[in-house]
């Protein structure tokens, strides 16, 4: 009995400080105690969800915060139906597809303002980062069509893991721009994410 308790305790500890499978190409945490830590160039950012949903245009959205190492915070509003994951842009008051629920090779879509086009170019891609190697990733080609976002690259590729959701992106030359470094599920007050 004592061995079982020790094994369970060690499993819980390892799971809380390493990768835990969270299932879904875009993970919708309903609990703000869960977070993802990404390396982003020489900096980093955290993604976490609010406990409350927000109603926009009569639809319920999960509120996702992305807090960057330099202090900026972006807010994204996500929802899903039986076909797609969506995000809502408060500036344009419009909804766009983020990714199909079951992506297929050749799936294409556009940002609602036609500023970006997206295409699934692989559904079994490998993605290697300094933190982990991923298999069976969906690779999405992103192409800026209108130069709306001058500070962003005109072209890049996103990688989504079926177990961990969004895991990173690369530029058109294949250089890793950001990647998932750590996942923390059900964190307790005072726990630290992003430091070993």
- 6 within domain boundaries: no
Number of domains composing the chain = 1
* pLDDT at 143 > cutoff 70: yes
| Residue 63 resides in a domain | yes
Residue 145 lies in a domain: yes
Quote the tokens at residue 12: 């819980």
Name the residue with tokens 């982003």.
Answer: 40
> Domain for residue 15, yes or no?
no
Residue 10 is assigned to a structural domain of this protein: no
Domain that holds residue 28: 22-184
Residue 165 resides in a domain: yes
Give the pLDDT confidence score for residue 187 in this predicted structure: 73
In tens, the pLDDT along 149-178 reads 777 789 999 999 998 899 999 999 999 999
pLDDT per position as a tens digit, 52-99: 899 999 999 999 999 999 999 999 999 999 999 999 999 889 999 999
What does the pLDDT read at residue 6? 30
User: What's the mean pLDDT in 23-30?
Assistant: 66
Q: What is the mean pLDDT of residues 7-14?
A: 31
Question: What confidence score (pLDDT) does residue 16 get?
Answer: 35
Residue 159 · residue 16 · CB < 8 Å: no
Name residue, tokens 């890793």. Answer: 176
pLDDT band (50, 70, 90) for residue 28: low
CB-based contacts of 158, cutoff 8 Å, min separation 6: 139, 140, 142, 166, 168, 169
Q: What is the CATH number of the domain that holds 68?
A: 2.40.360
Inside any domain, residue 29: yes
Residue 194 lies in a domain: no
């Amino acid at each position: 009995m004592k061995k079982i308790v020790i094994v369970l305790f060690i499993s819980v500890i390892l799971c809380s400080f390493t990768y835990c499978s969270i299932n879904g190409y875009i993970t919708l945490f309903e609990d703000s105690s869960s977070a993802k830590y990404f390396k982003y160039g020489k900096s980093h950012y955290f993604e976490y969800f609010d406990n409350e949903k927000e109603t926009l245009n009569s639809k319920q959205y999960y509120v996702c915060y992305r807090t960057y190492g330099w202090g900026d915070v972006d807010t994204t509003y996500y929802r899903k139906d039986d076909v797609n994951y969506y995000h809502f842009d408060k500036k344009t008051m419009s909804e766009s597809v983020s990714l199909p629920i079951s992506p297929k090779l050749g799936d294409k879509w556009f940002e609602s303002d036609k500023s970006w086009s997206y295409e699934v170019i692989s559904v079994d891609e490998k993605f290697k980062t300094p933190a982990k190697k991923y298999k069976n990733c969906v690779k999405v080609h992103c192409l800026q069509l209108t130069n709306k976002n001058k500070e962003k690259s005109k072209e890049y590729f996103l990688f989504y893991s079926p177990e961990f959701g969004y895991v990173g992106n690369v530029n058109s030359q294949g250089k890793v721009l950001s990647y998932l470094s750590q996942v923390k599920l059900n964190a307790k007050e005072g726990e630290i994410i992003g430091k070993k």
